[in-house]
Chains A and B, each alone.
Chain A
Amino acid sequence: MLQRLSTVIRRPMFWHGTHHHDSNDATKRLFDTVSSTVKGIQQINYVVEHDPKLTAEEKSKMKQFLIYRYDPADENDFPKYVSYYVDLKKIPPMYLDALLYIKDNYDSSLSLRRSCREGICGSCSMNCNGLHKLACIHAIDTDLTQPAYITPLGHMFVVKDLVVDMTNFYTQYKTIDPYLKRKTPKEGNKEYIQSVEDRKLLDGLYECVLCACCSTSCPSYWWHPDRYLGPAVLMQAYRWIVDSRDEYTDERLEKLAEDVKVEDCQNIGMCSFTCPKGLDPQKSMNHLMKLIEEYKERKIASATL
Chain B
Amino acid sequence: MLKETINAIYIQQARKIMNRFGVISRNKPDIGPSQGHLTGQYTVVDHTYDAIIVGGGGAGLRAAIGLVEQGFKTACISKLFPTRSHTLAAIGMNASLGNMGEDNWKWHAYDTIKGSDWLGDQDAITYMCKEAPNIIYELESYGLKFYRTAEGKIKQWASGGSRQNLGAGELAYRICVAGKTGHEMLHILFGRALGYNCTFFMEYFGLDLIMDDQGVCRGVLCMSMQDGSIHRIRAAYTILATGGYGRVYQSCTSAHTCTGDGGGMTIRAGLPMQDMEFVQFHPTGIYGCGCLMTEGCRGVGGFLRNSLGERFMERYAPTAKDLASRDVVSRAMTKEILEGRGVGPEKDHIYLHLDHLPNLHEKIPGICETARTFAGVDATKEPVPVLPTVHYNMGGIPTNYRTEVLNQVNGKDQIVPGLLAAGEAACASVHGANRLGGNSLLDIIVFGKQAAIIVGENWKPGQKQPDLPKNAGENTIARIDKLRFKEGSQSVPQVRKNLQKTMQKYASVFRIEKTLQEGVQKVKEIYQRKDDIKIKDKGLLWNSDLIEGLELDFLILQAKMTIEGALCRKESRGAHARDDYPERDDTNWMKHTLTRIQDIQSGDVEISFRDVITKTLDSKEFDTVLPKKRVY
Q: How far is the CA of A192 from the CA of B146 in the complex (A)?
A: 11
Q: Mark A104-133, 1 if CB is under 8 A from B, else 0.
A: 110111111111111111110000000000
Query: With the chains together, A260 CA to B10 CA distance in Å?
Result: 10
* Contact status of A259 and B7, CB under 8 A, knowing A18-B373, A115-B84: yes
Contacts of A120 in B (CB 8 A): 88-89, 180, 183
The listed residue (A92, A112, A175, A206) touching B184 by CB distance below 8 A is: A206
* A61 contacts B by Cβ under 8 Å: no
- Once the chains bind, are B226 and A137 in contact (CB under 8 Å)? no
**B191: A residues at CB distance < 8 A:** 177-179
Cβ of A102 to closest chain B Cβ, rounded Å: 11
Is there contact, CB below 8 Å, between B148 and A194?
yes
The reply on B37 being an interface residue by CB < 8 A is no
Q: Which of B137, B146, B491, B541 makes the CB contact (< 8 A) with A71?
A: B541
CB neighbours (8 Å) of B142 from chain A are 179-180
Distance between Cα atoms of A258 and B5 in the complex (Å): 12
Instruction: Report yes or no: A186 in contact with B86, Cβ–Cβ below 8 A.
Output: no
Interface residues of A in 251-305 (CB under 8 A from B): 258-260
The answer to whether B340 has its CB under 8 Å from any CB of chain A is: no
Q: Say how far A208's CB is from chain B's closest CB, in angstroms.
A: 8
CB <8 Å contact, A174 and B17: yes
Bound-state CA distance A196–B365 (Å) is 15
Is the pair A259, B6 in contact by a Cβ cutoff of 8 Å?
A: yes
Chain A 140-163 interface mask (CB, 8 Å, partner B; 1/0): 000000000000000000011101
Q: Are A72 and B145 in contact (CB under 8 A)?
A: no
A177 to B150, CA, bound (A): 30
Residue of B nearest to A119 (CB): B373
Does B628 count as interface, using CB distance less than 8 angstroms?
Answer: no
**Taking the complex as formed, is A4 at the interface, i.e. its CB lies under 8 A from any CB of chain B?**
no
Provide the bound-state CA to CA distance between A171 and B288, in Å. Answer: 38
Q: Judge if B348 is at the interface, Cβ distance under 8 Å.
A: no
Q: Which residue of B lies closest to A12 (CB)?
A: B361
Given A117-B289, A123-B80, A259-B3, decide whether A108 and B491 contact each other with a Cβ distance below 8 A: yes
Contact size range, A = 35 or more
Residues of chain B within 8 A of A3, CB atoms compared: none
Contact B536 A104 (CB under 8 A): no
Docked CA distance A291–B85 (Å): 34
Cβ of A62 < 8 Å from any Cβ of B?
Answer: no
Interchain CB contact under 8 A, B537 and A109: yes
Total A-B residue contacts, Cβ distance less than 8 Å: 198
Residues B153 and A167 in contact, CB atoms below 8 Å apart: no
* A31–chain B nearest beta-carbon distance, Å: 22
**How extensive is the interface on chain B, given as a class?**
35 or more
- Beta-carbon contacts under 8 Å, B496-528 to A: 497
- Residues of chain B contacted by A76 (CB below 8 angstroms): none
Q: Which of B17, B147, B373 contacts A137 (CB 8 A)?
A: B373
Which B residues from 81 to 112 make CB contacts under 8 A with A? Answer: 81, 83-86, 88-89
Within 8 A of A (CB), among B566-604: none
Chain B residues near A114: list those with CB within 8 A.
256
How far is it, in angstroms, between the C-alpha of A206 and the C-alpha of B366 when the chains are bound? 13
- With both beta carbons as reference points, the residue of chain A lying nearest to B493 in the complex is identified as A104
Please tell me if B14 contacts chain A, counting CB pairs below 8 Å.
Answer: yes
Closest approach, in angstroms, between the C-beta of B28 and any C-beta of chain A? 17
Residue of B nearest to A210 (CB): B83
Residues of B540-572 at the interface with A, using a CB-CB cut-off of 8 Å, are 540-545, 548
Distance of A214 from chain B, by nearest CB (Å): 16
Which residues of A approach B to under 8 Å, CB–CB? 12, 14-16, 18, 71-74, 92, 100, 103-105, 107-123, 137, 159-161, 163, 166-168, 170-175, 177-180, 182, 186, 189-196, 199, 202, 206-207, 209-210, 226-227, 240, 243, 245-246, 258-260
Pick 16 A–B contacts, CB within 8 A, sort by A: A14-B365, A14-B369, A18-B372, A104-B494, A109-B545, A115-B85, A115-B256, A118-B374, A160-B541, A166-B81, A175-B13, A178-B194, A194-B148, A206-B179, A209-B83, A226-B14
